[in-house]
Amino acid sequence: MKSFILLSITFLLLTTCVEHHQESSTKVDIFEKIQDIDIKYAKRFSVDTTHKAYTKIEINSGDSKYKFYDSIFIPHSSNYNFNNHKVIYNNYKNIAIQSVTYFAYLEAIDMTSSIKGLSGFDYMSKNDIKKVLRKNKVIEISNEGEILMEKLLKINPDLFLIYPYELETASKYKRNGIQTLLVAEYLESTPLGRLEWIKFFGLVFNNYHKANAIFNQKEKSYLKLKQAYDSTKTLFFNLPFNDNWAMPSTNSVTVNLATDAGLSYIYKKETSVDNLVLSKEEVWEQAIHSKYWIIIASRPKKFSLKDLLKEEDIYKEFEAVKNGNVIFCNTSFTDYFTRGPVQPELMLQDLINCINKNDTSTTYFKILK
C-alpha cells in the first residue's frame, strides 16, 4: 500500500510539471541599415547606429524618479551573436499593447491589424476605432488596469508593449515566453518629443521611412503654427479631484502645447517633473485672475459651461469664465488618448482657434459654452 501511494505521488509530481515553451532558435532576421536616424526632440529613447552589425534602440528613464532601462537590437548581420539580447523580427503579427496611446503610433504605420490584445478599451472614445479593433477580434487583456495573464497567453503575442512601471513584472511575462518592450512616450515633455516616438515604432516594426515622413510633415506643420509667448495670456489647468487640484508639470506635454499656443502657465516657476498637487483653496486664490482655463477631463457628452458653474460657485468669478475663455477637451468623447499623441499639430491648431474664439472646426478642444 505504501509503495502504491509513493508511486502515485511520484506520478502526480511528474505529470503536473508543465514545460513552458521557450524560444530556442538563435536565427535572426536581417534588416537593411538606416544611417540617417535623427532623434531631435524625444528624450526617453535613443538610437545608436554606430555598430555595423546592429542598430540599438535604448529606452531610458532620464530624470524621472522611477528608474528604468530597456533595449532592443535591429540586426544587420547574421554573424553577430546577440546572445540573450532582445532582437527585432521581421514579421510581427500578434502584438499586445498596454496603453491605448500606442494605438495611434501603430495606426500611423499601418500596424493596426497586428494588434490582438489591448489594455483599456474604456479609454477609447470613438466608435470607429473600436469597430476596427473589434473587426480584428482584439481582446481586452486587463481588468481594472491589471493585466490578465491567461488572456495575454491566449493571444501569445510576439511582442507586448508595456509601460515602464511594469518593468518589474516584465520577468513574469518573460517566464511565460512573452517578449516585452518598454514604451515611455508619455514621459516626454514636449508634443514633438512625444510625436517622435513614431520613429521608435517605425524602427521596431520595420516601417521607419513612413514614420519619419509622417514626423517630418507634422513637425513642419507644428512649427509653422507655433505662437510667440505672451506673458499676459495667463493660464491654468483642469479640475479638482475631491479637495485637491493636480496641475500638470511645467515639463509636461500639455503645458508645452499650451505654451506653444502662446499661453503663459501660472505655475511655470514650479520645475518639478511631477504634477503639482494644490488644494482647491490655493487654486481659487491663485487662478481667479487667469485669462485662460484649459480643462482636459472626462465629463458627460453635453457638458456645458452651466454644468461647470454648478460644480463650484466661485467659478463664475473666474476671469477665464467671465471672458468666455474656458477651453475644454472631453477625453470621453474625443480621441485625446488614442490619436492625440500623433496629432500635436491638430491640437495646437485647435488651441489657437479657441484662443481666437473660432472653434467651429476643432477636433480636440472646444470653447466651453
User: Contact residues for another protein (CB under 8 A)?
Assistant: 122-123, 241-244, 277-282, 284-285, 288, 298-300, 312-314, 317, 332
Cβ proximity to another protein, 201 vs 267, nearer residue: 267
Cβ proximity to another protein, 215 vs 267, nearer residue: 267
CA 368 to the chain's CA centroid: 26
Cβ proximity to another protein, 43 vs 299, nearer residue: 299
Tell me how crowded residue 243 is: count the other CB atoms within 10 A of its CB.
Answer: 8
Cβ proximity to another protein, 103 vs 201, nearer residue: 103
Cα distance between the two ends of the chain = 83
**Interhelix angle 197-204/208-225, nearest 10 degrees:** 170
| Min dist. Cβ of residue 270 to another protein (A) | 15
CA-nearest of 115, 93, 116 to 104 is 115
What is the chain's Cα-based Rg?
Answer: 24
Cβ proximity to another protein, 29 vs 317, nearer residue: 317
Write the burial class of residue 25 (CB in 10 Å: 0-12 exposed, 13-18 middle, 19+ buried). exposed
Transcribe 290-350 into DSSP letters: -SEEEEEE---TT--HHHHHHH-GGGGG-HHHHTT-EEEEETTTS-TTTTGGG-HHHHHHH
Amino acid symbol at 136: N
Cell numbers at 210, concatenated: 513612413
For residue 366, give the H/E element and its range.
strand 366-367
Cβ proximity to another protein, 132 vs 314, nearer residue: 314
| Min dist. Cβ of residue 335 to another protein (A) | 15
| Min dist. Cβ of residue 347 to another protein (A) | 21
Between CA 309 and CA 297 the distance in angstroms is 15
Between CA 185 and CA 188 the distance in angstroms is 6
| Min dist. Cβ of residue 96 to another protein (A) | 22
Between CA 34 and CA 211 the distance in angstroms is 13
Cβ proximity to another protein, 82 vs 241, nearer residue: 241
| Min dist. Cβ of residue 161 to another protein (A) | 22
| Min dist. Cβ of residue 154 to another protein (A) | 20
Cell numbers at 228, concatenated: 510667440
Q: 3-class SS at 204?
A: helix
Cβ proximity to another protein, 92 vs 303, nearer residue: 303
Side-chain half-sphere exposure of 120, counting CA atoms within 13 A = 17
Cβ proximity to another protein, 87 vs 139, nearer residue: 139
